[in-house]
Chain A
Amino acid sequence: MTQRVKITYISLLVLLPICIIAGTSFGAFKIEFEQCANILLNLFGADNYSDFTNPQHNVLLYIRLPRVCLSMMIGAALAVSGAGLQGLFRNPLADPGLIGISAGAMLAASIAIIMGLQFTSGFLGYYSISFATFLGAILTTIIVFKLSKSNKSTNIATMLLAGIAINALAGAVTGFIIYLSDDDQLRDITFWSLGSLGGADWEKVIALIPLIILPIIMIARLAKKLDVYALGESEALCLGVNVNSLKRRLVVWVTISVGACVAIAGMIGFIGLLIPHITRLLVGPKHRNLIWISAILGALVLSISDLLCRLIVAPAELPIGILTAILGTPLFLALLIQQKRKING
């Protein structure tokens, strides 16, 4: 591990608890840093700290902490998915939106909303839109994958084109559904398409853990193969990589994690595209570092973005998709310009 990689890991890992405290402390309801730290320490058994009120304890524990956890998990999942797909397409412009996962999920969400699925009762009823969204993501990926299959192998260029086509189709159908929807449904769909972590609770966090942590670990395990895959398909094959299995596994894990993210928080753009890119500029293209650092950076960036969403227009909230784009783009451009300067001397 080079010095640069070590420094990046350490500084990001130092920022992580700071972000958790900031995320749980700031907001419409005031909880001081110290109180916040006390409540968190209390959680781990250090019960001699009690300089806080009960409402503060409850807001922090049942509203803010799950929300911070959710934002960090979703940020990590989207960033790692982006890193994996960029490796698969050997193109730094790829992101989960590109192969239609998000658009398919969005379409399913819109259909679920216009069909009034959220008003049915029971457990499945409560999460029916999320289920529909997750299924939509998986179904779209299966279609794109089938379309790009020829002669037992998957053609990546065809997959990209099929993804773009499915994206356009899903977009158009979603548009049609928006046209048909009434005012309330329209508001729901718009909210979904801009993303929000507003509904966070521990139930959602726990439901997401396997759907996010497992794919991240599985994608990270493909790191070495993705490096070799960067040489080209036939080169990777000659170096003993089962290219078809690599593609299949990567797409499956990306679909599961992105599908789950969109199902819980709606469409959150830019994280999947920007974070791996920024990470690559920081620590180079080797996938082992790229994937893990993307995960941490994605977690940090999305939790900070979510915090800002809550603060900027408090007590109301800004949809997070707007903020990730506004925050991410200038940062990304600054890094690009810096790199250009480095190359030009």
Chain B
Amino acid sequence: MVKTKNISFAVGKKNILKNVNSTFENGKVSAILGPNGAGKSTLVKCISGTITPNKGVIELDGKNIKNIGLENLALKRSYLNQQFNLSVGYTVKEIVSMGRFPHYKVYPSKIDDEIITSAMKLLDITSLSDRITNTLSGGELQRVHFARTLAQIWPNSKEEQEGKILILDEPVNNLDPQFQHSILELAKRFAENHNVCVIIVLHDLNLVAQYSNYSIVMRQGEVITQGKTREVLTEKLLEEVYKVPISIIKNDHHFNIVTGVKYNRLENELIR
């Protein structure tokens, strides 16, 4: 479980995060949403440990993240950044293998190799294994790095329930709908089957509605509301946050959010 307690982050005089309190549970997918510049990426960077907040504490299973140590943290938490550097000349397999870096000293073990193979299979990139990464398309590269991120916190056994943390910053940006759904489905499966705490920054509200258990809505560096996705996300709130018409279609089986249009159920027509 991850908790942020009163964290603030500022660059110069600009406050990017203001007293953010939030909780992310194991076994659940938590989505962070909000308009551009709301501080979503900064929040996940703080949680991942790549930046340190100016104020406040981040706790991982009750322990201050500062006291865990980089190497131990790397065994528990993986983070997929929004942008990737061009790692010139490395092959797909080499990049995915780097996900296992914290787990071995000199050469990867047999288990590491199996995990690397499984992660590549899961993301359907086995056929790209020997391709140099700078020749890949944006979507392929995204899947390669997602495989690397998964490999890092991959459970060592099927029964493992250690409660690792998977942080994804806009993981579906370059992907077609098929891969968008398959990646989020995978994240959800990791949460449910291995008790992983999944934290995702997402812009697509419909994907938030379909895949997340919890939602944290942010605006201008502050958390406006948080709670179960089905309960928290209302047309009124989202319209206020995003300043566009929003329709929610909700019943026992479905929960979908359509942006940019207002669906009038009585007249059964679209009103802009």
| Cα distance, A82 to B176, chains bound together (Å) | 41
| Cα distance, A193 to B106, chains bound together (Å) | 41
Tell me the nearest residue of chain B to A240, going by C-beta.
Answer: B74
16 A-B pairs, CB-CB below 8 angstroms?
Answer: A90-B87, A90-B88, A227-B94, A232-B84, A234-B79, A235-B79, A237-B50, A238-B48, A238-B77, A238-B152, A239-B98, A239-B102, A241-B101, A242-B70, A280-B89, A285-B89
A92 within 8 Å of B (CB atoms) = yes
B residues 78-94 touching A (CB-CB < 8 Å): 78-79, 81, 84-85, 87-91, 94
A237 touches B49 (CB 8 A): yes
Q: Please indicate the chain A residues that have their CB under 8 angstroms from the CB of B90 in the complex.
A: 227, 230, 284-286
| Cα distance, A285 to B106, chains bound together (Å) | 17
A214-238 to B contact mask, C-beta < 8 Å, 1/0: 0000000000100110111011011
| Cα distance, A239 to B88, chains bound together (Å) | 19
**Which single member of A231, A240, A241 contacts B95 (CB below 8 Å)?**
A231
| CB-CB under 8 A for A234 and B94, given A239-B101, A240-B71 | no
Q: Please indicate the chain A residues that have their CB under 8 angstroms from the CB of B135 in the complex.
A: 343
B49 touches A231 (CB 8 A): no
With both chains docked as a complex, state the minimum distance between the C-beta of A4 and any C-beta of chain B, in angstroms.
12
B49 touches A238 (CB 8 A): yes
| Cα distance, A238 to B50, chains bound together (Å) | 7
Q: Please indicate the chain A residues that have their CB under 8 angstroms from the CB of B78 in the complex.
A: 238
| Cα distance, A209 to B78, chains bound together (Å) | 42
Q: Please indicate the chain A residues that have their CB under 8 angstroms from the CB of B89 in the complex.
A: 280, 284-285
Given contacts A227-B98, A227-B101, A241-B70, 5 further A-B contacts (CB under 8 A): A232-B85, A234-B48, A238-B74, A238-B77, A240-B102
Residues of A with Cβ closer than 8 Å to B?
90, 92, 224, 227-228, 230-232, 234-235, 237-242, 280, 284-286, 343
| Main SS at interface, chain A | loop
With both chains docked as a complex, state the minimum distance between the C-beta of B12 and any C-beta of chain A, in angstroms.
12
| CB-CB under 8 A for A90 and B74, given A227-B98, A234-B50 | no
B73 within 8 Å of A (CB atoms) = yes
A240 touches B101 (CB 8 A): yes
Tell me the nearest residue of chain B to A243, going by C-beta.
Answer: B70
A232 touches B81 (CB 8 A): yes
| Cα distance, A284 to B94, chains bound together (Å) | 11
Q: Please indicate the chain A residues that have their CB under 8 angstroms from the CB of B101 in the complex.
A: 224, 227-228, 239-241
Interface residue tally on B, bucketed by range:
20 to 34
**Which single member of B48, B79, B87 contacts A230 (CB below 8 Å)?**
B87
With both chains docked as a complex, state the minimum distance between the C-beta of A223 and any C-beta of chain B, in angstroms.
10
Residues of B with Cβ closer than 8 Å to A?
45, 48-50, 70-71, 73-75, 77-79, 81, 84-85, 87-91, 94-95, 98-99, 101-102, 106, 135, 148, 152
With both chains docked as a complex, state the minimum distance between the C-beta of A79 and any C-beta of chain B, in angstroms.
17
Q: Please indicate the chain B residues that have their CB under 8 angstroms from the CB of A227 in the complex.
A: 90, 94, 98, 101
B77 touches A90 (CB 8 A): no
| CB-CB under 8 A for A231 and B87, given A224-B101, A238-B78 | yes
Q: Please indicate the chain A residues that have their CB under 8 angstroms from the CB of B98 in the complex.
A: 227-228, 231, 239
Q: Please indicate the chain A residues that have their CB under 8 angstroms from the CB of B94 in the complex.
A: 227, 286
| Cα distance, A280 to B87, chains bound together (Å) | 13
| Cα distance, A224 to B101, chains bound together (Å) | 8
With both chains docked as a complex, state the minimum distance between the C-beta of A52 and any C-beta of chain B, in angstroms.
45
A240 touches B85 (CB 8 A): no
A239 touches B152 (CB 8 A): yes
| CB-CB under 8 A for A285 and B88, given A224-B101, A232-B81 | yes
| Cα distance, A150 to B98, chains bound together (Å) | 28
A234 touches B73 (CB 8 A): no
Report, nearest first, the 7 A-B pairs whose CB atoms are least far apart: A240-B74, A285-B89, A232-B85, A234-B50, A240-B71, A240-B102, A230-B87
